[in-house]
Amino acid sequence: GAVVSQHPSRVICKSGTSVKIECRSLDFQATTMFWYRQFPKQSLMLMATSNEGSKATYEQGVEKDKFLINHASLTLSTLTVTSAHPEDSSFYICSARARTGPTEAFFGQGTRLTVV
């Protein structure tokens, strides 16, 4: 089946630094990738949708200058949390939808970000 790999799975960073999270589709080409944030015991909140080769579309209330999304190839999208603060600590999840075939999205394993 389709595999989405997210890296790193855990990261701890200091306040004010930036952190990059990678999302790769390993065995398919993904024109569309979704980035989510999940708070403890809550659902996935869609942050943005990225399409290969174009700018990401951010949800209302998500700062695009803070959460930089790049989708430069059909197999890789990155989320960079810039100038991280403790309130950015969360579980970030990416998912990818294949260019052709079924329209379901395949999920990465998530990244636990802790800002200290």
Partner 1 sequence: AQRVTQPEKLLSVFKGAPVELKCNYSYSGSPELFWYVQYSRQRLQLLLRHISRESIKGFTADLNKGETSFHLKKPFAQEEDSAMYYCALRFFNFGNEKLTFGTGTRLTIIP
Q: How far apart are CA 15 and CA 7, in angstroms?
A: 20
Among 47, 110, 113, 115, binds partner 1 (CB under 8 A): 110
x/- mask, partner 1, residues 51-90, rule CB under 8 A, reads x-----x---------------------------------
Pick the closer one to partner 1 by CB: 59 or 63: 59
Pick the closer one to partner 1 by CB: 27 or 104: 104
Q: How far apart are CA 77 and CA 92, in angstroms?
A: 13
Pick the closer one to partner 1 by CB: 25 or 115: 25
104 binds partner 1 (CB under 8 A): yes
Q: How far apart are CA 41 and CA 48, in angstroms?
A: 21
Closest distance of CB 80 from partner 1, Å = 21
Q: How many CB atoms lie within 10 A of CB 61?
A: 7
Question: Which stretch of DSSP H or E encloses residue 101?
Answer: none
Pick the closer one to partner 1 by CB: 15 or 57: 57
Taking 3-state DSSP, the helix, strand and coil percentages for the chain, each rounded to the nearest 5, stand at 5, 55, 40
